[in-house]
Structure 1
Amino acid sequence: MDLRALFSSNDPVGSSEAFTNRQSQWDVVATAIEEHLRHIAAPSFDVEDLESPRTNVIVFHGVGGVGKSTLLRKIESALTAAEQRPRQWGTPAWAGETILPVRIDLARSASTDFERVVLTIRLALAATVGRPLPSFDLALRRYWDAQHPGEPLEEYVRRTGLVGKFGQLLPQQVQSAVGQVASALQLPGLVGSAAGQIATALVQALRERRERARALAGCARTAALLEADPDLEALSYYPHLLAWEISRLPAKRAVVPVILLDTFEDTADRHRDTERLLQRLVWLMPNAFFVIGGRNRLAWADPTVQGQLDFTGPHAWPGLAPQAGQPAQAAGGDRQHLIGDFSPEDCDDYLARRLTQDGQPLITPAIRAVITERAHRLPLHLDLAVARYLEIRRTGRTPTPDDFDHTFPALVARAMSDLTADERHVLRSASLLDAFDLELATQAAGLTHQAAARQLVERPMISEDPYAIWPYHLHGAIRTALRADDHTEDRWTPADWHRAAERALAALGRQWQDTSALLPSRTLLIACLRQGLRLARDHHLGDLGWLTDAAFAYTDDSVWEPLAPPTHTPGTGPQTGPDTPADALAELLTAIARRQHEHRERTAERLTAVLDTGLLPGELTELALYYRAKAHKDLARTDAALDGMRQVADAGGQLAPRARRGLANLARIRGDFPTALAAIPTLGWEGRHHRVLAHIRWPHGDIDRAIAAFEAARAEAEQHDAPGERAIAQTLLALVTAFTDPHRADDELALAHQYLAPLDQRATTYYATVAALIRDAGTDRDVTDRATVLHTESTVAGLPWLTPLIHTAVAFHHAVCGAQDDLTATIGQLREATANGDFAYYVDIATAMGDLPQPAGSAIQWLDDAQTVRERWRALVTARRNHLGTPQ
């Protein structure tokens, strides 16, 4: 068998076309539109020519979810306005031309039929051209009267959602066109109201070659179309009239439609009925340009679809026919572009075409199905399957589906066949990484120059996302085969893989540390942690190295992005708990982050389990102890919280300032304000000293100093580029401001919600809700009902420490309203919530608000005289009453 001849003539899509990026796709579109504009501007172009090949279409196809719809939307935006075009796309050569983009989703779920497609295009022209298109509009009106009797066009446009901003322009222009024709033909008014009679009169006038009729609707085929029965078949030919009307628009209204047909695969059926109508639309509008997106390539240039479609073959659609040896990016080259990998349909079609015998596919459908499933849509896998099929056939045995039900070990050899030794080395190293850039791949390979990595990323096995942190990633099928079935002569030993994993982990750490030294990047930190944790776990790397520092950086600002820790390696038995330091670290960070979504009891349990493994090194043990102590504090287990915080503070590690802050807060919770205040000089920024001070000042009713401290905390957070801490400080600032100035509290709360929106801080969000209750105290805005809901939510979340604060906000509301019975009941609830001594000062505050006697035996150690504190809180109630005009 002459394999060279076989494969040179039966390879419709090469594997080198399997990967493209949005930049190149835009370049393809921009170039194609430029060629289209030159073509329709040429003196030889005739919009009524039905014989010339069509070059007014370009196709993007690929698997579902690969980004075709997104691409078409971006193209639509770029064509709509220059300012919406991505900067890196540049300015096309045809900028300044009047381009009219019209994107139509053909998805079945959108219930888009051919009639709606035609109306959508005409509606877009109505808004842009701003004038009737007589011959087409008359034909459309005649069709409409016949197919939709009793339903005015304007009602249909409104009912179907096509109305938009200019929806009523289409019915108006159609009616105007009918009137224009009737006037030109001098028809009586009664006759002028019937589109069918007007069409008949126009046909007669055209047949008689009347000058006014020919000037109005002089397309050579107008009369024939108006004489045809006004059914769907006739409608599919009306775009010919539309194209003719567009071609004769005056220069100041001239427009070139670019019609984007999305989800084209949903037009497919056994008989291609819908596809035939759409293909006819493309053919009959040669002065419009079409961009088609779908899962499969268009078969219009394939002679085998003759009879199913009207216009077929490579002569009719030269840009849609396979062009052997010509690169896809060449000017005037192939107009079909694969996005990502092959679709299953294309895999099957490729295999059916690759080997034929007597014009029939040599590979049976059953074998093609197995190959397609195992290929993971990788074109290279298809090539190897074809080679294997021939090898088996040469032995005299008939291949069976079982011969292809595995991953080809030869996939690695084939992928590496034309790689240099350095490129092969980089490829194996890069297979350890989910994504990489040139420097990361080079360092993981242990090389000193990037040349090999640069050459590798130009290979079709590497995909590129220019907008990602690391733009390159190895195709999943090759990566899997490389790690599992590497039987090449220069294959790595387990020790080689282990050393490469250590290099890759170190390279990730260097990239994060070097970048953080110049400009800290939270996004890079999370990405490095995700890859680093998986590497350390999969390859049992005992030294966590930079992962420890990264873990502290992750927890430093209370943002809590999910880390998606590695799952248990298949085939190694059930996983009952962490069994490596990396496992333990991943579980630790997950437990800390998940506390925003789990009950604090669950958080404490998970952290205890991690600590019990003994796998965490010293500093990370302190991290687990600290967050378990925080969970205990939130659960009102003050003694356990104090014990954990003391352990961390006494260790003197990175978390010592935070632990000292925790101890200060616990002292304040117990009502020991002098001890809490004395700790502030030892805290610094790491211990959030300004925030601790504000928390001490505002229970004293010293709101102005509390506001100043929270403002200082917010400013310090901004200086340190800490959005999580900034959101906390801003929210607490809104809370204390709400006691004195409801109007300012509105503004502060709005800013707090803006800061909180991109974060995951449940407790801080509850603080914002309390702030809104305090702001609304004394009004009829359902303060008590909202407080009840918040109390339920916070209790379910395992945050009972919020309960006394919520009751205090409600007490403020009742005191302002003068509802003494309600206030007394709320104080009773406060006493119950603070019976263990935590937050007992809220009871003193609530009684002061209502000018009630100070609680007997109060053990609160205030910084100021207790009477002064009481007077301040009573003054706040009086000020709110004055603000609201409430009787004293």
Structure 2
Amino acid sequence: MTGRDLRALFGSNNPRVEADEAFTNRESQWQVFVGALDSHLRHVAGPGFDAADLEAPRRNLLVFHGVGGIGKSTLSRRLEAALANAEHRPAQWGEPAWHGPRIVPVRIDLARSANTDFERVIVTIRLAIAAAVGRPMPAFDIALRRYWDHQHPGEPLEEYLRRDGLMARFGQALPQQTQAALGEVAQGLALPGMLGSAVGQLTGALVRALREHRRSVAALAGCPRLADLLEADTDLEELSYYPHLLAWELARLPARKQIALVVLLDTFEDIGDRTRRDMERLLQHVVWLMPNVFFVATGRNRLQWADPALHGQLDWTGPAAWPGLADRGLPASRAATADRDGRRQILIGDFSDEDREDYLAHRLAVDGQPLIDPALRRVIAERSHGLPLYLDLAAMRFLEIRRTGLTPRPADFDVDFPALIARTLTDLTPDERHVLRSVSLLDAFDIPLATASAGISRDAPVLRLLERPFIRHAPTGLWPYHLHALIRSTLRTAEDTTDDRWSPRDWRNAADRAHIAVGQQWAEHTGPGRRPLIACLRQGLTLAAEFDLDLGWLTEAAWQYVSDSVWEPLTPAQRNTDDGPRLRTPAHALVELLSTLGRRQHEHRRTTANRLTAVINTGLLPQELGQMARYYLAKAHRDLGHSAASRSEMRQVADGGGRLAPAARRGLAHLARLAGDFPTALTVAGTLGWAGRQNRVLGDIHWPQGDITPAADHYQHARDEAEQHGIAGERATAQAHRALAMAFADPATAESELALAHHLLTGLTLHATTLTVHIAHLIRDAGHSTAFHERAQALRTETETAGLTSLLPLLELAVCFHHAVRGDDDPLTAAIHRLRRLTTDGDHAYLAEIASFMGDRPTTPDARPVRWLEGEATVRRRWRTLVTERSATASGHP
């Protein structure tokens, strides 16, 4: 069954537009309800159940809670309709297998707009029973009539029912049954002809008769607390205990009259707040005192009845009293296990992708066909993040645009709806609204971060806000809380028309507080791992870039980010133009710098060089961060084979004397090595120390001499130093180079070295180092014909794609080594020729000489001279020996 939506119906002149109140699946919530109600029915039918038991734990309450507009009221109405008439049950819900008495639903809307007070709640429940059972409930009816005559003198109950519309909804059964109950008791007490005006005399006589255990009132004597209730003051507090009488009456109905009453309490959040619980306490009395009635509460907030701290505000509290309410709301993904686990508090989640489009397809239609076309439905569905309220507002916007004579387009729905803000903030206190706006600046947060961002001195508003369903909880996260994505987006971007809206200055002040608080959490973190660093950097960069904040702690965090050479992706928000990111402030420049460094492992080095050049040219970064950009630009140039440009940038960084000066001097040593000037490279290396990665540089100098053992030892020392300093990226790089050197000399030993290199690379994104390891695998397998050339070609393609052209000569040397070991003269000649073509600019030209040494061939007369450490003859002999030794071990292979 779908109800007519009058707003949409009156939003178009086209009478063919069908505006239905669409309802999507919600099958998981139905299954939870079916399971919980079935458990309740079996419990009530059990031999040990007593409706008058005031101490047993209560499991007769199911709570569905979620953000405003998620579809709670629609679910409540559909549950009532499905229980009242099987024809109104959605087909996908399936037929429940209940056994027992007839189910009677009654839904009570607690919304402020419905003007539902506690008296109306009690009367409505009694009316539903009256309509279903068709007989008096003497104990309750007499107490209610006594209360009514005292609290509403001169206003008969039937007149109230008629004026309030309840008689039209439930009929005239209650007044008739109440009068019959009074007459029955009056006759038993020999007080015939009793009128409403004499109810006080009747109840007095009834109390005396109960106290004296007269046989004339034996039918009511089984209700031991009736006399006490009839003697108590007639106020709302007393009225809240009357449901005990109603539960007792329901329990003693004959089998043919038995019913299973289901009371649906909707809009539960409107009965008060977390500090004023008067109405909530009265409703809790109803639920507790009617254990044979099943209650379903729907509202924005989870119920706190299982919290022992509420003792005194509510009368029955704690997990022993409400075992099913003890956990924070069970998420939708686990709702199917609710009945099995005894959970009775369910968080209603967002619509699935399919449900979003299904909602829009049925929301507006013409002649049974969806009015919104499929492409536009997909756009709106994605934008909604599954929030039904957004889908509904989007449908209304669709009609508004059509009224102007235009055709709605996807761009028309790239908006946020201010109504979402109003619905979200409506039942929050001013302090909670302040905290909500503050944490909307953050991707995620914890309690201290939220309190500091809001600039308040106490956690109470934060703790209250965490109870709200639009706050999502992820216990395993660094910061365990985050806002519903659409609500966060709306708070940040939609026009805020509320009375306490923030000005741009308010937002910037909050962003500054949040930025400082995030930095303090990073500075105070002393545990292992880079997770806090990356998380704080992402949040801090986003805030600084959006609100043009000073860099502050971000400078030191940026140095920490690059020092480990791990390169996790950083993807903070960034404004873009057609030509690339818009760099207007130091924060924007830093975002682009760190993002570029993180992405360089995944894109061509030419792209990296262009982006770093753009950052440097802005002049926005402070000098020390500008040196960082220049150093990595020099590395990109070196990887691209632009040695002159690399040397110029490295020299500027080295002369600047900043933090990267030792690394720049190492870069200069590498450039000297690339040019074949090994003595100069060795001299520079001796000045580097750990900061300049001296041992790794020495390894890079020694293995081209064919002096493998000292090279491998230097790499091992470099790896150990990196481990001592906790630099994971440097440790993996040193080990990769050690495996490369060992692969030339000892394939068996290289196997374990390569395995360790792969292990140390786990979790790191170091593209060049990874390719070095793959080249080392080729060198280890040199002399074997199995797929060698296919593997080499695949590596060429990958290296060229990444823009790591500086690795191509090393890869070609591995191919030369393979042919030299096998004695393949022509292929070796071709490989040496390719290697010489790759090194025509002079960089890595010494590798072509080494290839000639491997094949015991003369060097080319016009080749650029190489300054070896111990003379050409010694180096030639070493490389030729490595080839002949490998040939001897590889001769047994095909």
TM-score calculated relative to the size of structure 1:
0.58
Question: Which residues of 2 match residues 573-652 of structure 1 at below 5 A?
Answer: 577-652=582-657
The amino acid across from 2:570 in the alignment is L
Partner of 1:547: 554
Partner of 1:443: 452
The amino acid across from 2:523 in the alignment is Q
Partner of 2:832: 827
**How big is the shift at 1:40?**
13
Contact 1:661–1:692 at 8 Å: present in 2 too? yes
The amino acid across from 1:836 in the alignment is D
The amino acid across from 1:740 in the alignment is A
Look up the SS of the partner of 2:482 in the other structure: strand
Instruction: Call closer, same or farther: CA 1:800–1:347 in 2, change over 3 Å.
Output: closer
Instruction: Call closer, same or farther: CA 1:840–1:378 in 2, change over 3 Å.
Output: closer
Aligned mate of 2:707, from 702, 708, 717: 702
The amino acid across from 2:804 in the alignment is L
* Residue 296 of structure 2 corresponds to residue 323 of structure 1: yes
* Residue 799 of structure 2 corresponds to residue 794 of structure 1: yes
**How big is the shift at 1:776?**
0.7
Contact 1:438–1:450 at 8 Å: present in 2 too? yes
Instruction: Call closer, same or farther: CA 1:445–1:843 in 2, change over 3 Å.
Output: same
**How big is the shift at 1:405?**
13
Contact 2:815–2:831 at 8 Å: present in 1 too? yes
* Residue 503 of structure 2 corresponds to residue 493 of structure 1: yes
Cα distance between partner residues in 1 of 2:739 and 2:559: 29
Contact 1:847–1:854 at 8 Å: present in 2 too? yes
Aligned mate of 2:775, from 765, 770, 773: 770
**How big is the shift at 1:637?**
0.9
Cα distance between partner residues in 1 of 2:423 and 2:530: 39
Contact 2:852–2:859 at 8 Å: present in 1 too? yes
Cα distance between partner residues in 1 of 2:638 and 2:885: 34
Partner of 2:532: 524
Cα distance between partner residues in 1 of 2:414 and 2:840: 69
**How big is the shift at 1:662?**
0.8
Partner of 2:471: 462
Matched-pair identity in %: 53
Cα distance between partner residues in 2 of 1:33 and 1:880: 77
Partner of 2:437: 428
Cα distance between partner residues in 2 of 1:523 and 1:482: 28
Aligned mate of 2:871, from 855, 859, 865: 865
Aligned mate of 1:676, from 672, 675, 681: 681
Contact 2:62–2:296 at 8 Å: present in 1 too? no
Partner of 2:823: 818
* Residue 749 of structure 2 corresponds to residue 744 of structure 1: yes
Greater mean alpha carbon deviation, residues 833-842 or residues 682-691: 682-691
The amino acid across from 1:640 in the alignment is A
Look up the SS of the partner of 2:296 in the other structure: coil
Partner of 2:514: 504
Instruction: Call closer, same or farther: CA 1:574–1:726 in 2, change over 3 Å.
Output: closer
Contact 2:472–2:481 at 8 Å: present in 1 too? yes
Look up the SS of the partner of 1:463 in the other structure: strand
**How big is the shift at 1:532?**
1.6
Aligned mate of 1:559, from 563, 566, 585: 566
Cα distance between partner residues in 1 of 2:754 and 2:864: 34
Instruction: Call closer, same or farther: CA 1:623–1:574 in 2, change over 3 Å.
Output: closer
Contact 1:412–1:486 at 8 Å: present in 2 too? yes
Instruction: Call closer, same or farther: CA 1:646–1:41 in 2, change over 3 Å.
Output: farther
The amino acid across from 1:861 in the alignment is R
Contact 1:62–1:342 at 8 Å: present in 2 too? no
Greater mean alpha carbon deviation, residues 680-689 or residues 737-746: 680-689
The amino acid across from 2:868 in the alignment is W
Cα distance between partner residues in 1 of 2:659 and 2:877: 42
Cα distance between partner residues in 2 of 1:746 and 1:270: 70
**How big is the shift at 1:314?**
9.3
Greater mean alpha carbon deviation, residues 459-468 or residues 632-641: 459-468
Instruction: Call closer, same or farther: CA 1:851–1:463 in 2, change over 3 Å.
Output: same
Render the CA deviation track for 1:289-321: whole Å, top value 9, x for unaligned.
Answer: xxxxxxxxxxxxxxxxxxxxxxxx994999997
Instruction: Call closer, same or farther: CA 1:671–1:482 in 2, change over 3 Å.
Output: same
Instruction: Call closer, same or farther: CA 1:274–1:582 in 2, change over 3 Å.
Output: closer
Aligned-residue CA RMSD (Å): 4.9
Render the CA deviation track for 1:747-784: whole Å, top value 9, x for unaligned.
Answer: 22223223334222222221112111111111122323
Render the CA deviation track for 1:373-414: whole Å, top value 9, x for unaligned.
Answer: 9986558989999xx9xxxxxxxxxxxx9xx99966576566
Question: Which residues of 2 match residues 305-324 of structure 1 at below 5 A?
Answer: 315=260, 323-324=296-297
Question: Which residues of 2 match residues 139-218 of structure 1 at below 5 A?
Answer: none
Contact 1:600–1:799 at 8 Å: present in 2 too? yes
Instruction: Call closer, same or farther: CA 1:448–1:34 in 2, change over 3 Å.
Output: farther
Look up the SS of the partner of 1:323 in the other structure: strand
**How big is the shift at 1:845?**
1.4
**How big is the shift at 1:568?**
2.5
**How big is the shift at 1:350?**
13
Cα distance between partner residues in 1 of 2:885 and 2:477: 54
Contact 1:843–1:855 at 8 Å: present in 2 too? no
Partner of 1:14: none
Instruction: Call closer, same or farther: CA 1:56–1:663 in 2, change over 3 Å.
Output: farther
Greater mean alpha carbon deviation, residues 418-427 or residues 432-441: 418-427
Partner of 2:192: none
Cα distance between partner residues in 2 of 1:680 and 1:411: 63
Contact 2:596–2:612 at 8 Å: present in 1 too? yes
Look up the SS of the partner of 1:682 in the other structure: coil
Cα distance between partner residues in 2 of 1:609 and 1:269: 67
The amino acid across from 1:589 in the alignment is L
**How big is the shift at 1:811?**
1.5
Partner of 1:693: 698
Render the CA deviation track for 1:547-595: whole Å, top value 9, x for unaligned.
Answer: 22222222223322221231428xx999773222222222222222222
Unaligned residue ranges in structure 2 (runs of 5+) = 1-25, 50-58, 71-85, 101-257, 265-292, 307-321, 326-337, 361-370, 397-407
**How big is the shift at 1:630?**
1.0
Render the CA deviation track for 1:260-295: whole Å, top value 9, x for unaligned.
Answer: xxxxxxxx999977754xx56x6699xxxxxxxxxx
**How big is the shift at 1:606?**
1.8
The amino acid across from 1:553 in the alignment is Q
Instruction: Call closer, same or farther: CA 1:344–1:322 in 2, change over 3 Å.
Output: farther
Partner of 1:130: none
Instruction: Call closer, same or farther: CA 1:332–1:703 in 2, change over 3 Å.
Output: closer
**How big is the shift at 1:670?**
0.8
The amino acid across from 1:532 in the alignment is G
**How big is the shift at 1:348?**
13
Contact 2:522–2:533 at 8 Å: present in 1 too? yes
Question: Which residues of 2 match residues 818-857 of structure 1 at below 5 A?
Answer: 818-856=823-861
Partner of 1:398: none
Partner of 1:711: 716
The amino acid across from 2:834 in the alignment is Q
Cα distance between partner residues in 1 of 2:850 and 2:466: 67
**How big is the shift at 1:642?**
0.1
Cα distance between partner residues in 1 of 2:470 and 2:778: 58
Cα distance between partner residues in 1 of 2:835 and 2:741: 20
Look up the SS of the partner of 2:323 in the other structure: coil
The amino acid across from 1:499 in the alignment is N
Cα distance between partner residues in 2 of 1:881 and 1:459: 73
Render the CA deviation track for 1:631-652: whole Å, top value 9, x for unaligned.
Answer: 1111111110000001111111
